[in-house]
Amino acid sequence: MHDLGGTQGFGPVEMEVDEPVFHADWERRAYRLTISSMMAGHLNGRFRHAIERMDPTGYLESSYYEHWLHALETLLIEKGVITEKELSNRAAELAKGAS
């Protein structure tokens, strides 16, 4: 399911002329956070597996860098670097406009 090669019914792949690497600033931050965590040894080669464990509906409804964020959150929680409560508290702060 996570490797959709050959799967039909999802429509054409839309190619953008001069497509940017990142469409939004949050994607750039997600990339940096993930690479930093990899370099710090927090992901230990389990990054792809964390993406593959996503709920199939959530996977199909989310973007490439949302997959990255999901994997990063999952692995940092599993490793004990952060807690689910810390993550949800920070998400609530950001939703209120905190930086």
pLDDT in tens, 17-40: 999 999 999 999 999 999 998 888
The CATH number, out of the four listed (3.40.50.920, 1.10.472.20, 3.20.20.100, 1.10.1040.10), of the domain defined by the range 25-95: 1.10.472.20
pLDDT in tens, 67-83: 999 999 999 999 999 99
Q: Could you give the CA distance from residue 42 to residue 75 in angstroms, rounded to a whole number?
A: 7
Give the number of C-alpha atoms closer than 13 A to the C-alpha of residue 46, restricted to the C-beta side: 17
pLDDT of amino acid 7 = 65
Asked if residues 2 and 44 have their Cβ atoms less than 8 Å apart, the reply is no
Q: Could you give the CA distance from residue 34 to residue 48 in angstroms, rounded to a whole number?
A: 12
Asked if residues 87 and 73 have their Cβ atoms less than 8 Å apart, the reply is yes
